[in-house]
């Protein structure tokens, strides 16, 4: 809505500068909070072409146009042409649109595209840790934002369930481990063995690493004894993985691709690259030369024809194209250290006839706890279970004194913990590293989930206090304070915020929008009485505004995989 209003303003100005509105609209801005105007057009750029002072240009433009449509005033203020919205029409349009569309408010116009969203590539035989959690939260939120912007999203999960890391794990398990598998905490046990395997291999790499490579080749050749161990432990790992999906509230995955299913067909295709002189073999590997693209050599197979990640990624790209031939974009949400890998992969796929423009790597940076820095190389890993339990412990202490049934208290603490986890990670730009502070994440200070939780609970509480049967005909002129207009402008900006988040794959835009609305509302609440028994018409108008704010806030929070809290 804001973009449409800006364009309408540009249309008023354009004829007086002998240009199109399309050329001007990018210069139109929302006026600062400390002035009474709503939109402003700076005239500095026109001074050079018109040979006039910007102040004179502003005065000339205003003298030639009359306010119309959405605007009640057009004013010249120094080098700016300023526009004031017709308050009654603006208020009416925003509130009526919210009440009509509710959960679909400002979803924008449909430009249907099909996105393949490859998220959370967890490994079996390794731990699920805090870095994986940021991946799934960024992925799920992006999926919701893209769907809200009228796109179809196919959520794909690609677990790495075999070969290199599994071979190392099975090598250690069969050579050094002498006890039974545990029935509980299987993921933690698996991680302990994997870290022990890596440390053991590093003790004598000349002996142990060739043993691991040989075992990997036997596993790839489906050695019966090794495959039996692999299948049993793989299934237990997948069960734990799905348990974590459920805890986070994940919906069903649309398509599962397993690393163990993708390799053999594309070893043959990679060999075809060699036959066509696009890849070359040496004594140590099969690779494709990408030096002319400043991407060096891209390794495709080891010298013993064992596969690499690249082998499987190539197959997976073609398999996705086979399964979803009409997709618009294939998105890979993978941590930032893999940027070079994906640059090489996408160029190789382009050589192999897949449109490079349909492939995109969405990188995210990693996470540390304030009290605990994580390093996978040092095996100082923050496991998902430990991270979750710390949040739950702190959330339970927050609700310990509440006079509510024990089961309700436990469920409340669970919601607080998981929503604080989600909001705390999604508020940050995914391309920046997070130092996650457990204490801050659960505080009621600005820029935290509890602050938003408190705000939505306050909104619900006010609506519950209203005892009158209020019809939906209101006097829009009564919503005339600066705070009310600021809130309505923020609601009207939601469409642009969603489109921006969808175009840039940045859920933090939505999280920041939620905080801005919460801050505006709390300021408004402290300065004005929403329910005034002595002024029924004003109360009706403000309750309508409150209802609209809450509805759009619920929509926004849903994009972050969070529910609005009705009570504290």
Taking 50 as the threshold, does the pLDDT of residue 544 lie above it? yes
User: What pLDDT does residue 435 have?
Assistant: 83
Gap between the Cα atoms of 501 and 304, Å rounded: 45
Kindly indicate the confidence band of residue 285, based on its pLDDT and cuts at 50, 70 and 90. Answer: confident
Region of poorest pLDDT, from 51-65, 203-217, 233-247 = 233-247
Region of poorest pLDDT, from 250-259, 268-277, 521-530 = 268-277
Kindly indicate the confidence band of residue 551, based on its pLDDT and cuts at 50, 70 and 90. Answer: very high
Chain centroid to Cα 376, Å, comes to 24
Gap between the Cα atoms of 152 and 112, Å rounded: 7
**Spatial CA neighbour of 311 closest among 362, 348, 256, 356:** 348
DSSP-derived letter for residue 260 is G
Kindly indicate the confidence band of residue 379, based on its pLDDT and cuts at 50, 70 and 90. Answer: low
- Write down the pTM of the prediction: 0.90
Per-residue pLDDT averaged across 278-297, rounded? 81
| Alpha helix (H) residue ranges in 325-383 | 339-351
CA dihedral 158, 162, 166, 171 (to 10 degrees): 180
Mean pLDDT of the chain: 89
Q: What is the pLDDT of residues 107-152, one digit of tens each?
A: 766 678 999 999 877 889 998 888 889 999 999 999 999 999 999 9
CA distances from 325 to 118, 319, 471 (A): 16, 10, 51
DSSP-derived letter for residue 560 is T
Q: What is the pLDDT of residues 92-116, one digit of tens each?
A: 999 999 989 888 887 766 678 999 9
Gap between the Cα atoms of 437 and 368, Å rounded: 9
Per-residue pLDDT averaged across 260-286, rounded? 68
Query: Is the CB of residue 128 less than 8 Å from the CB of residue 384?
Result: yes
Would you state the structure tokens that stand for residue 191, as one six-digit string?
């991680």
User: What pLDDT does residue 378 have?
Assistant: 45
More confident residue, 478 or 289: 478
Gap between the Cα atoms of 541 and 96, Å rounded: 12
Taking 70 as the threshold, does the pLDDT of residue 284 lie above it? no
More confident residue, 53 or 220: 53
Gap between the Cα atoms of 409 and 391, Å rounded: 15
Q: What is the pLDDT of residues 408-457, one digit of tens each?
A: 889 989 998 999 999 999 999 998 888 887 777 777 676 788 889 999 99
Gap between the Cα atoms of 165 and 162, Å rounded: 7
User: What pLDDT does residue 186 have?
Assistant: 85
State the Rg of the chain over Cα. Answer: 29
User: What pLDDT does residue 283 have?
Assistant: 60
Gap between the Cα atoms of 279 and 287, Å rounded: 5
Gap between the Cα atoms of 219 and 166, Å rounded: 9
Query: Is the CB of residue 227 less than 8 Å from the CB of residue 219?
Result: yes
b/e map 268-282, b = 16+ CB within 10 Å? eebbebbeeeebeee
């Amino acid at each position: 809505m804001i973009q449409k209003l800006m364009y309408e303003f540009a249309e008023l100005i354009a004829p007086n500068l002998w240009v199109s509105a399309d050329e001007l609209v990018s210069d139109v801005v929302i006026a600062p909070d400390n002035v009474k105007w709503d939109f402003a057009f700076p005239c500095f750029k026109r001074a050079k072409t018109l040979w006039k002072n910007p102040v004179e240009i502003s005065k000339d433009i205003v003298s030639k146009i009359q306010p119309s449509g959405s605007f009640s005033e057009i004013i010249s203020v120094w080098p700016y042409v300023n526009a004031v919205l017709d308050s009654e029409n603006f208020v009416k349009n925003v509130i009526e649109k919210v009440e009509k569309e509710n959960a679909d408010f400002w979803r924008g116009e449909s430009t249907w595209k099909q996105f393949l969203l490859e998220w959370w590539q967890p490994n079996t035989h390794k731990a699920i840790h805090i870095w994986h959690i940021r991946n799934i939260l960024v992925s799920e939120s992006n999926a919701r934002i893209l769907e809200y912007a009228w796109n179809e999203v196919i959520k794909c999960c690609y677990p790495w369930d075999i070969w290199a890391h599994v071979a190392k794990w099975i090598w250690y398990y069969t050579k050094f481990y002498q006890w039974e598998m545990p029935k509980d905490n299987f993921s933690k046990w698996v991680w302990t063995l994997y870290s022990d395997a890596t440390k053991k291999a590093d003790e004598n790499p000349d002996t142990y690493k060739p043993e691991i490579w040989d075992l990997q080749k036997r596993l790839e050749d489906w050695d019966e004894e090794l495959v039996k161990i692999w299948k049993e432990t793989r299934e237990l790992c997948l069960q734990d993985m799905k348990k974590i999906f459920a805890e986070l509230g994940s919906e069903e995955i649309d398509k599962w691709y397993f690393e163990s299913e993708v390799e053999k067909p594309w070893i043959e295709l990679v060999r075809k690259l060699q036959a066509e002189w696009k890849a070359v073999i040496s004594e140590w590997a099969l690779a494709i030369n990408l030096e002319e693209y400043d991407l060096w050599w891209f390794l495709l197979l080891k010298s013993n024809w064992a596969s690499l990640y690249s082998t499987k990624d190539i197959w997976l790209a073609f398999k996705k194209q086979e399964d979803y031939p009409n997709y618009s974009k294939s998105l890979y949400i993978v941590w930032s250290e893999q940027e070079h890998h994906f640059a090489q992969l996408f160029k190789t796929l382009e050589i192999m006839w897949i449109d490079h423009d349909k492939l995109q790597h969405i990188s995210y940076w990693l996470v540390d706890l304030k009290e605990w820095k994580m390093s996978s190389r040092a095996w100082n890993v923050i496991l998902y279970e430990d991270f979750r339990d710390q949040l739950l412990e702190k959330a339970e202490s927050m609700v310990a004194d509440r006079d509510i049934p024990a089961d309700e208290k436990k469920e409340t603490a669970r919601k607080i913990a998981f929503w604080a986890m989600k909001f705390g990670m999604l508020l940050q730009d995914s391309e920046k590293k997070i130092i996650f502070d457990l204490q801050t994440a659960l505080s009621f200070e600005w820029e935290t989930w509890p602050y938003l939780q408190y705000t939505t609970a306050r909104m619900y509480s006010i609506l519950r206090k209203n005892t009158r049967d209020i019809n939906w005909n209101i006097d829009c002129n009564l919503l005339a304070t600066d705070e009310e207009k600021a809130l309505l402008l923020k609601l009207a900006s939601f469409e642009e915020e969603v489109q921006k988040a969808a175009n840039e794959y940045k859920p933090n835009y939505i999280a920041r929008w939620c905080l801005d609305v919460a801050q505006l509302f709390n300021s408004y609440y402290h300065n004005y009485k929403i329910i005034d028994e002595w002024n029924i018409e004003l109360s009706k108008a403000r309750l309508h505004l409150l209802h609209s704010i809450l509805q759009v806030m619920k929509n926004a929070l849903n994009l972050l995989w969070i529910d609005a809290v009705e009570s504290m």
